[in-house]
Amino acid sequence: MVNSFYDLVTDFYEWGWGQSFHFAPRLCRETFEESILRSEYYLALRANIQPSYKVLDVGCGVGGPMRNIQQFTGADITGVTINQYQVRVANQYCAQKGIEKKCRVVQGDFQKLPEKFEPESFDAAYAIEATCHSPDRRVCFSGVNECLKKGALFVGYDWVVLPESGYDSSNPDHVRVKEGIEVGNGLPTLATSNEISSALEDSGFEVLDVFDANKNVHSAHQVPWYYTLCGSFTLKGFRMTRLGRMCTHAMVSTLEFLRVAPQGSVRVSALLNATALDLVEGGRKEIFTPSLFFVARKK
Contact predicate 12/268, CB 8 Å: yes
Secondary structure of the chain: what % helix, strand, coil (to 5)?
Answer: 45, 20, 30
- Measured in residues, the chain has a length of 299
Contact 154, 298 (CB under 8 A): yes
Q: How far apart are CA 151 and CA 299, in angstroms?
A: 6
Pairing of strands 148-161, 288-298: antiparallel
- Please, which residues have CB within 8 angstroms of residue 191's CB and are 6 or more apart in sequence? 132, 137, 158, 160, 161, 199
Please give the span between the terminal C-alpha atoms of the chain, in angstroms, as a whole number: 33
Residue pLDDT, tens place only, 127-149: 999 999 999 999 999 999 999 99
Percent of the chain with pLDDT over 70: 80
C-alpha pair distances (Å), 257 with each of 108, 133, 243, 263, 267: 33, 31, 21, 9, 13
Q: What integer pLDDT is reported at residue 233 of this predicted model?
A: 37
Residue from 49, 50, 66, 68 nearest 58 by CA: 66
Q: What is the DSSP string of 254-267?
A: HHHHTTSSPTTHHH
The closest alpha carbon to 56, from 98, 111, 103, belongs to: 103
Is the pLDDT assigned to residue 271 strictly greater than 90?
Answer: no
* CA–CA dist 277, 246 (Å, integer): 13
Whole-Å CA distances, 274 to 8, 149, 161, 293: 16, 42, 18, 26
CA distances from 53 to 63, 141, 147, 179, 204 (A): 18, 20, 14, 39, 21
Eight-state DSSP code of residue 290: E
Tens digits of per-residue pLDDT, 155-174?
Answer: 999 999 999 999 999 999 99
Q: Which residues pair with 124 in a beta bridge?
A: 55, 153
Taking the CA of residue 145 as centre, how many other CA atoms within 13 Å lie in the half-sphere pointing to its CB? Answer: 20
Least confident of 18-32, 209-223, 247-261, 278-292: 247-261
pLDDT of residue 232: 47
CA 199/CA 127 separation, integer angstroms: 14
pTM score, whole prediction:
0.87
| pLDDT band at 275; cut points 50, 70, 90 | confident
Q: How confident is the model at residue 85 (pLDDT cuts 50, 70, 90)?
A: confident
Distance CA 73, CA 218 (A): 32
Q: pLDDT tens across 23-79, in order?
A: 999 999 999 899 999 999 999 999 999 999 999 999 999 999 999 999 999 999 999
- Is residue 245 predicted with pLDDT exceeding 70? no
Confidence at residue 238, expressed as pLDDT on a 0 to 100 scale = 42
Query: For residue 158, what pLDDT is reported?
Result: 98
